[in-house]
A and B are shown apart, each in its own frame.
Chain A
Amino acid sequence: MSENKKMLKIFVFISILFITVICYLSYFEIFLKEEVVNNSYNKRMWITSSDRLRGSIMDRNGEVLAYSTFNNDSSQTRIYPYDELYCHVIGYNSNIYGNSFLESKFQKELTGDMATNKLLDIKNLILGNEIRGNDLVLTINHDLQTKALELLEENSGAIVALDPNTGEILSMVSNPGFDPHSDYIESNWSSISTDDNSNLMSRAIQGTYPPGSIFKIITSTAAIESGLDEYIADDQGSVTIDGKIYSNAGNEKYGIIDLGKAFSVSSNVYFASLAIELGSENLLQCALDYGFNKPIDFDLNVKKSEFSTKAFTDTDLASTGIGQGITMVTPLHMALVASAVANDGIVMEPYLVSAVMASDGTQITKKSREKLFDVIDKNSADILKKMMIDTVETGTGKKAAITGITVAGKTGTAQNEKSDSEGKDHAWFVGFAPADDPQIAVAVFLEYSGSSGGNAAAPIAGDLMEFYLK
């Protein structure tokens, strides 16, 4: 019967449709799902945690920096007792716009959406305890964090302070910030998310800026490593390389100077010539050793610092050697550069979250100290340390000095990356103290400060380290 044959074909057709559905479902599950599920519009990302109280976040001394409470309708409110202070560390947590920074990176831990929590939930249900997610213990020192934001005042910029021996972040602030409470976020989203000031961005880790003279730490390191630490130059206030003039700040003339002297007075003439002497290979290798162009493992996403790998002309080389080329850095990375000198040439992996604690007080994960970069040997580090001490004692970094404590540091004043616009320079200071037994390394970055690193950034760094050490 021809009808039967044709009906069978329709049956085969329907079967193919069904098989397509099955194949597509499997394809979706295996290949498409990951991207779909992590979409920020997926309410499940935060709804799954609604019956479990979101975990709290504490500083290293148990000061509560973020916590949640249940509302009458069993929804939760996230409270940040210090408002803006931790907006670029902890971030926000909104039911509509998702979350950022640690709230986002540790979403699973905070909501308790982990295997270990399922058992604990049952235990708490039976015992009648509150069912809650895990708490985060940070390496942050709340007092130092408060002080850092105070010192930054109305300046746009960032301050990073860390323990060079361990990599623990002691404070990390960025200005301008925002009120992370969800009612503020939700009612002002369109203005804060499109604002020219980039309030949502952490300048400490997500912004890259020209380093200016603090890059001379890297140029000096390259010189020491390639045996050019005895290099002498006659500084007559300016030098012309391939037709481009490099002059010192204030057109100061220093005469015949060696590396140590040139470093402490931040001679552009000396370092521009030194860079030419070094060659791009040596400089690039040294920058790579310090972690340029490399991802930095951290609890938050850090933008890579950039060092050009393209062919250098002599002027490129000279500009780069004094930190004015196309080199771009994050303040966190510059604090790590200081910590390399402080910690005998070894950069410890920076971290913010020291432990994840379950609601019954047991520790779920604990961060262990890890080496991030092995930059230089102790000898070279000691030479650099000496140069940095001189800088604060007699050179450009005098304003970072603390009575009774030896401070090591380097100032930087960087022409802003917008080239000539208004000519407002960025001010930098990186350093550590006490020089003989470093407890704290800092990077202070003031965006479009208009002032020099020595005048604007150094005093902030000095005050902050003094506050921490005394």
Chain B
Amino acid sequence: MNGSNSIFKPVRMVLLFNFLAFILMYFYGSENSLNVLLLGLAVIFTIGILYHIIKVYDWGDEYLFLIASMLCSIGILMIYRLDPDYGIRQIKWFGLGTAVFFLTFIFLGKTKFWSSKPMIYAYPLISIFLFSVTLIFGQRIGGAKNWIEIFGINVQPWEIIKLLYVFYAGLFFSNRELIYLPTVNLKGKAIKINSIFLFSLISYVHLGFLVLQREWGGAVLLFLIFFSFLYAFDNHRSFLFVNGVFALVGGFVGYLLLDHIQVRIWTWIDPWSDMAGKGYQITQSLFAIGAGGFFGTGIGLGNPEIIPEVHTDFIFSAICEEMGIFGGVAVVLLYFLLVYRGIKISLRIDNIFYKAASFGITAIFGFQTFIIIGGVIKLVPLTGITLPFISYGGSSLISTFLALGALQAVSMKNSFSASKVVEADE
């Protein structure tokens, strides 16, 4: 490849960005400045070394990790700028995240455990268990009851559940013909129930738990993933249509019955009439984006700290304020590249389990990004969900890296099968 001889190799750009970002953070912070410089060196080495391992040992797609690292670097810089303590913690989470990525990749790459048939029972059961624990022991933070405290650390089980759901879907679609459903006797006729009903049932159970937790962003995301699976891996168009209608009716009934949903719709349509109250978050977010203009105020020169929950859900508004619309568009393009690489991986692999799992993970990245970015810029109603790789928070970052590890593992199987083909040709 010609590009490999260029000094502008993507990995160097990512490392250079980090180098500059950490120098900036060194001058920005106050007491733990030296600390941040050391952590910065660690981040640069981690990204550099892990990238080269992936490349040298041919561990599949070399860009996945690079794109994720770039997004994380932007996130770390922004979070550190908002609050140096959070920034330091995010750097540590990033370190742990890369470790999780590495281990997930090794574990899933070397074992067939995650695609073994018994897991088709295990995934939904673990999910339902985690959901129940959240409902019973959960803490309500910001309206949604989606956190549980384990050893003093707040964990969001849903971040793991969405991956289990995707793996379950993979197993389901790769083993459909083996799934036995009892026949129903209707007027003497034996009717065989299509297994897709079982998949739908499990999906709606997940959805039900999310609604109970008032995790609206999660519910929308899960439905979009479910719908994408139905569309791509099932041929019953009418069933797809019925589910679509079902969702619309469900959404409408939810709107009529639930105050929470009404508020979200109304603050989307007109946040300006209640700027001090319910429209506060979204209007503050729009003020921030407007303040930045095309090129931004410059990092550290804006006032994104006014926006509520700016570390997590509203991090994109902070990026737009200080790095400008161009910065925001660049971030969106990074996610586009990530989704592009992901789809490419799932297109290439033949094994249906891997295909569905990698497709599901990619769809999570894509839809989750759209739901939150579209929400904070008032393109769609705002539902709280984290921005993958960028938002502050351990649960989110760890689970996203777990998903990325899985995607990487699939991409390696891909390159193995590809190289086998090449060998066979020779």
Contact in complex: A11, B343 (CB < 8 Å): yes
Q: Is the C-beta of B275 less than 8 angstroms from some C-beta in chain A?
A: yes
> B350-375 interface mask toward A, CB cutoff 8 Å, 1 = contact, 0 = none?
00100100010001001101100110
In the assembled complex, the Cα of A161 lies from the Cα of B87 at a distance in Å of 59
Residue contact B290 to A33, C-beta cutoff 8 Å: yes
Task: Tell me the residues in window 301-352 of chain B with beta carbons closer than 8 Å to chain A beta carbons.
Answer: 303, 306, 320, 325, 328-329, 332-333, 335-336, 339-340, 343, 346-347, 352
CB closest chain-B residue, reference A12: B343
Answer whether residue B231 sits at the interface, using C-beta atoms and an 8 A cutoff. yes
A2: chain B residues within 8 A (beta carbon): 235
Contact partners of B336 in chain A: CB under 8 A? 15, 18
Assess the B303–A21 pair: CB atoms within 8 A.
no
Given the known interface contacts A3-B233, A7-B346, A29-B325, the answer about A14 and B290 at a Cβ–Cβ threshold of 8 Å is: no
A310 proximal to B (CB < 8 A):
no
If the complex has contacts A10-B228, A11-B339, A14-B363, are A43 and B287 also in contact, measured as CB distance less than 8 A? yes
On whether the beta carbons of B306 and A37 are closer than 8 Å, the reply is no
Contact of B377 among A3, A21, A42, A44 (CB under 8 A): A21
| Contact residue among A11, A22, A29 (Cβ-Cβ distance under 8 Å from B332) | A22
* Residues of chain A lying within 8 A (CB to CB) of residue B288: 44
| Contact A14-B366, Cβ < 8 Å, known A8-B343, A24-B377, A29-B294 | yes
**A18, A33, A44: which contacts B306 (Cβ < 8 A)?**
A44
Name A's interface SS: helix
**B424 touches A (CB below 8 Å):** no
Q: A17-B370, A21-B332, A44-B287 are in contact. Are A29 and B293 (CB under 8 A)?
A: yes
Distance of A15 Cα from B233 Cα, bound (Å):
20
- Are A41 and B343 in contact, CB atoms less than 8 angstroms apart? no
The 8 A CB mask of A358-384 against B (1 = contact, 0 = none) is: 000000000000000000000000000
Check if A37 sits within 8 Å of B290, measured CB to CB: yes
Secondary structure call for the B interface: helix
Other-chain contact of B379, A6, A20, A41, A44 (Cβ < 8 Å): A20
B379 contacts A26, C-beta separation under 8 Å: no
Evaluate contact between A36 and B276: CB separation under 8 angstroms. Answer: no
Nearest residue (CB) in A for B355 is A3
B7 at the interface (CB under 8 A from A): no
A6 — nearest CB in chain B belongs to which residue? B232
A394 interfacial by beta-carbon distance below 8 Å = no
B283 at the interface (CB under 8 A from A): yes
Interface size class of B (residues with CB under 8 A): 35 or more
- Kindly supply a per-residue 1/0 record for chain B positions 369-412, scoring 1 wherever the CB is within 8 Å of any chain A CB and 0 otherwise: 11001100101000000000000000000000000000000000
Binary per-residue interface labels of chain B (286-297) against chain A in the complex, 1 for a CB within 8 Å, 0 otherwise: 111111011000
Instruction: Give the size category of A's interface with B.
Output: 20 to 34
Given known pairs A14-B339, A14-B366, the reply for A42 and B287 (CB within 8 Å) is yes
Contacts of B363 in A (CB 8 A): 10, 14
Does B370 lie within 8 Å of A18, measured CB to CB?
yes
A37–B347 contact, CB under 8 A? no
Query: Roughly how many angstroms separate A10 CA and B342 CA in the complex, as a whole number?
Result: 12
Cβ contact of A6, chosen from B231, B294, B370, cutoff 8 A: B231
Q: Is the CB of A25 within 8 A of B290?
A: no
- Measured CB to CB, the nearest residue on chain A to B342 is A11
A48 within 8 A of B: yes
Question: How does the 8 Å CB contact mask read for A30-48 relative to B, with 1 for contact and 0 for none?
Answer: 0011001101011110011
CB distance from A5 to the nearest CB of B (A): 9
Cβ contact within 8 Å between B306 and A43:
yes
A3 and B232 contact, CB distance less than 8 A = yes
Report chain B residues within 8 Å CB of A17: 366-367, 370, 374
Q: Which of B25-48 contact A (CB under 8 A)?
A: none
B306 surroundings in chain A (CB, below 8 A):
43-44, 47
Decide if A231 is an interface residue (CB 8 Å cutoff): no
Is A28 close to B, CB under 8 A? Answer: yes
Quick check: is A4 within 8 A (CB to CB) of the other chain? yes
Q: Tell me how far the C-beta of B370 lies from the nearest C-beta in chain A, rounded to whole angstroms.
A: 4
Partner of B347, one of A7, A36, A44: A7
Q: Smallest Cβ distance from A104 to chain B, in angstroms?
A: 18
Residue in B232, B275, B352, B370 whose beta carbon sits within 8 Å of that of A14 in the complex: B370
Please give me the residue from chain B that is nearest to A2 by CB atom.
B235
Q: Flag if A37 contacts B291 (CB, 8 Å).
A: yes
Residues of A within 8 A of B289 (CB): 25, 28-29, 33
A residues less than 8 Å from B235 (CB atoms): 2
> Chain A, 319-339, contact with B by CB distance < 8 Å: what is the 0/1 string?
000000000000000000000
Q: With a CB–CB cut-off of 8 A, which chain B residues contact A48?
A: 303
Of all chain A residues, which has the CB nearest B293?
A29
Chain B proximity of A452: nearest CB distance (Å)? 48
Whether B379 and A21, one on each chain, are in contact in the complex, defined by CB atoms closer than 8 angstroms, is yes
Q: Mark A197-223, 1 if CB is under 8 A from B, else 0.
A: 000000000000000000000000000
Given A21-B374, A44-B303, are A10 and B291 also a contact pair (CB < 8 Å)? no
Query: Which of chain B's residues has its CB closest to A17's CB?
Result: B370
Contact in complex: B359, A7 (CB < 8 Å): yes
> B56 CB to closest chain A CB, in angstroms?
30
Complex CA gap A17/B332 in Å reads 10
Known: A33-B290, A39-B283, A41-B283. A11 touches B340 (CB 8 A): yes
Please determine whether A26 and B325 come into contact, CB atoms closer than 8 angstroms. Answer: yes
Task: Tell me whether A36 and B290 are in contact (CB under 8 A).
Answer: yes
Q: Which residues of B contact A43 (CB under 8 A)?
A: 287, 303, 306
Asked whether, in the complex, the Cβ of B232 is within 8 Å of the Cβ of A7, the reply is yes
User: Do A44 and B291 touch (CB < 8 A)?
Assistant: yes
Nearest-Cβ distance from residue B187 to partner chain A, whole angstroms: 35
- Using known A-B contacts A24-B379, A33-B290, A37-B290, determine if residue A4 contacts B332 with beta carbons closer than 8 Å: no
Type the 1/0 row for B258-277, where 1 means its CB is closer than 8 Å to any CB of A: 00000000000000100110
Query: 10 A-B residue contacts at CB 8 Å?
Result: A6-B231, A7-B355, A15-B336, A20-B374, A26-B325, A28-B286, A29-B325, A33-B289, A41-B287, A47-B303
Task: List 12 extra interface pairs beyond A10-B363, A18-B336, A22-B329, CB under 8 A.
Answer: A3-B355, A6-B232, A14-B363, A15-B339, A18-B339, A18-B369, A24-B379, A29-B294, A37-B290, A41-B276, A42-B291, A44-B306
A residues touching B (Cβ–Cβ < 8 Å)? Answer: 2-4, 6-11, 14-15, 17-18, 20-22, 24-26, 28-29, 32-33, 36-37, 39, 41-44, 47-48
What are the 9 closest A-B residue pairs judged by CB atoms, nearest first?
A14-B366, A37-B290, A6-B232, A11-B343, A33-B290, A42-B287, A17-B370, A41-B275, A36-B290
